Amino acid sequence: MTLYFSTILFGTIFAVFITWLCSIKFGFLSQKPGHYSNQGTEFDIRERLCGDMICEGVIYGPFGKVNTRFVAYMHAKWEGDVGHMTESFTYDNGDKLERIWDLKVMGSNGIIEATAPDIIGIGAGKQSGSGVRLCYKIKLPKSAGGFVLNTVDWLYLMENGTIINRSQFRKFGIKVGELVANMRKIDT
């Protein structure tokens, strides 16, 4: 009986390890900014994340079911390489969330630094070609558990100027959520 349980435990651990390894080597986390260096329109966040914007999206739980939907109004303003962006989220359950980002583009190599009150430390990013990656640790509000999650944001610039945002949230290396959204400028 002990051998049976040991075999099942080993099999489960092995399956989790293989799943994790595949996600690192072949999945979402395997993307690098260089993959987008020669694709599509050049994504400069100082130009594309500027002015008034609307963001509409969904957040999936760990098993792929939509947990919540949201609409966010955003406003970004840049002075040279330093930007300030406000986001006002309204979720389908009526909850609201405000976030204020401070962004900095570091020279001509596309490196980005980002801070916000619910971000632990400094987010690190890179813009390359039609893609932007930003990695950071986010502290969820108490109403969402108050956990600190490792986050990887990918922003993909479409030819019409719309930005597609895909983010994954991980705890102890295990995906616990995913966000998919689109962002576009509001005509004023």
- Residue 146 CA to residue 186 CA, distance in Å, equals 32
pLDDT by residue (tens digit) across 94-147? 999 999 999 999 988 889 999 999 999 999 999 888 889 999 999 988 877 788
The reported pLDDT for the residue numbered 21 is: 60
pLDDT by residue (tens digit) across 56-93? 999 999 999 999 999 999 999 999 999 999 999 999 99
pLDDT by residue (tens digit) across 37-58? 677 678 899 999 999 999 999 9
Q: Of 107, 98, 97, 104, which Cα lies nearest the Cα of 123? A: 104
- Residue 114 CA to residue 105 CA, distance in Å, equals 9
Higher pLDDT, 112 or 29: 112
Indicate the pLDDT class of residue 29, thresholds 50, 70 and 90. Answer: low
Burial class (CB in 10 A: 0-12, 13-18, 19+), 88: middle
| Interval 25-36 mean pLDDT | 63
The reported pLDDT for the residue numbered 24 is: 57
Q: Residue type for 32, please?
A: K
| Interval 148-160 mean pLDDT | 93
The angle formed by the CA atoms of residues 84, 140 and 88, to the nearest 5 degrees, is 40
The reported pLDDT for the residue numbered 136 is: 96
| Interval 7-34 mean pLDDT | 65
Q: Kind and range of the H or E element at 8?
A: helix 2-26
